[in-house]
């Protein structure tokens, strides 16, 4: 394992975050504050509690997960797409660096950045509502696991995309709607039976539900199912990345 190469890629990607601190950190904090003003203030005044939890506190895990998904995909996809765009990807592929080391460097940096933003979002939420985390270890585990999983997904998108328009296509048209419809701001138990059944086909439901369980001990689906679905998606992303480097799909042409 070439740890020097991993560290170089990791430090390069992390340095890009600190060069764009306003966009990387301040923007998500402002977005979180606006969500609390709109959802917590306007809707929260009409919904007292959900599963014994005040609405303001109930939406916190969903907000963190929404930020985590979008930032993980964005950081990882742009991180690998930009070397493709300017042509430096060929220097990286010809260097004595394995595919595993490349993935660890890029995905590790993207996951670190999104995890940091998730914790910043959590700290921002604590300014608006009192929070008590029942399972802090599981909370951190779900946070890191989701960040790594969707950073891998973003890495795949970055390799697949041929232009900046395609780079934003899946996050905007698929991931963001799924996140909003995945129980981020409501419990799927509030839906009619038919729509609840349809919602169970949304993978984001399991992510939000498992993460919410780590906060309040209640969830829309069992914690074992949430963890299994997340691990299966992680394995699928890992398998696709291995296939990409084995075949050179959109890397060597």
Domain boundaries, the chain: 3-247
Torsion of the alpha carbons at 64, 121, 166 and 14, rounded to the nearest 10:
-130
pLDDT of residue 95: 87
**CA–CA separation, 28 vs 108, rounded Å?**
20
Where helices occur in 127-222 by DSSP H, the ranges are 136-160, 164-170, 176-180, 193-199, 203-216
**CA–CA separation, 159 vs 51, rounded Å?**
42
Contacts of 206 (CB under 8 A, 6+ apart): 221, 225, 226, 229, 230
Nearest to 242 by CA among 111, 146, 108, 98: 98
pLDDT of residue 45: 62
Span 7-30, pLDDT tens digits: 999 999 888 777 766 666 777 778
Assess contact for 63 and 215: CB atoms under 8 A: no
Instruction: Provide the 10 A C-beta neighbour count for residue 219.
Output: 23
Token pair, residue 224, equals: 């074992």
pLDDT of residue 91: 87
> How far, in Å, are 40, 57, 219, 220 from residue 51 at the CA level?
16, 11, 9, 10
Taking the chain (253 residues) in consecutive chunks of 10 residues, what is each chunk's mean pLDDT?
Answer: 89 82 72 74 70 85 90 92 88 88 94 91 85 92 95 95 90 89 88 89 93 92 92 95 91 72
Residue labelled with tokens 């890009």: 16
């Amino acid at each position: 394992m070439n740890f020097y190469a991993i560290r170089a890629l990791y430090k390069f990607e992390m340095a890009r975050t600190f060069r764009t601190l306003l966009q990387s950190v301040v923007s998500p904090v402002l977005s979180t504050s606006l969500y609390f003003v709109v959802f917590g203030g306007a809707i929260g005044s009409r919904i007292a509690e959900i599963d014994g939890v005040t609405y303001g506190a109930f939406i916190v895990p969903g907000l963190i997960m929404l930020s985590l998904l979008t930032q993980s995909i964005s950081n990882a996809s742009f991180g690998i797409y930009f070397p493709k765009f300017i042509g430096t990807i060929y220097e990286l592929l010809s260097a004595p660096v394995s595919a595993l080391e490349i993935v660890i460097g890029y995905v590790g940096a993207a996951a670190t950045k999104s995890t940091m933003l998730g914790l910043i979002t959590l700290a921002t939420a604590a300014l608006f509502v009192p929070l008590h985390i029942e399972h802090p270890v599981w909370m951190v585990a779900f946070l890191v696991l989701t960040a790594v999983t969707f950073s891998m997904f973003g890495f795949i998108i970055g390799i697949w995309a041929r232009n900046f328009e395609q780079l934003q296509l899946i996050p905007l048209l698929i991931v963001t709607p799924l996140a909003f419809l995945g129980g981020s701001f409501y419990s799927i138990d509030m839906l009619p039976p038919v729509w609840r059944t349809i919602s169970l086909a949304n993978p984001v439901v399991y992510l939000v539900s498992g993460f919410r369980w780590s906060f309040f001990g209640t969830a829309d689906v069992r914690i074992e199912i949430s963890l299994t679905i997340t691990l299966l998606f992680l394995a699928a992303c890992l398998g696709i990345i291995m296939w990409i480097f084995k075949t050179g799909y959109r890397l060597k042409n």
